[in-house]
Amino acid sequence: MFQTKLSSPFQVRQFASDFLSRFQTLDVLVLNAGVFGLEFRLTDEDQLDETFQVNYLSQVYLASLLKGAMSKTLKPRLVSVSAESHRCSIFPLKLDRKRSQRQLTFQIF
């Protein structure tokens, strides 16, 4: 079993390295990690918001590190799962009517 701490890019890189040292190919990669409701805090390594690091950056980074192994399989699959936690968030939303009624502008304070 492989485990990693997604709030650490170094550990994500180490995870990928460990995986690739044991396996040459990867048929399916499911990106399903996520945290919700954490207090704002910066990661130790790169001073980014921990929630952003875990929910987005590390998952994209891991997929990019394992892309080569996935490209060696006949039918690779990448599955990215998301949640509907954003529905619980409260933030100001403004419709910018000058551009288009379909384009939304978010203002996050």
* Domain range annotation of the chain: 9-106
What string of H, E and C letters represents the secondary structure of the chain? CCCCCCCCHHHHHHHHHHHHHHCCCCCEEEECCCCCCCCCCECCCCCCEHHHHHHHHHHHHHHHHHHHHHHCCCCCEEEECCCCHHHHCCCCEEECCCCCCCCEEECCC
pLDDT band at 26 (very low <50, low <70, confident <90, very high): very high
If one looks up domain 9-106 in CATH, what number appears?
3.40.50.720
Q: Is 31 within 8 Å of 77 (Cβ atoms)?
A: no
44-91 per-position pLDDT tens digit: 777 777 778 888 888 899 999 999 999 999 999 888 887 665 566 555
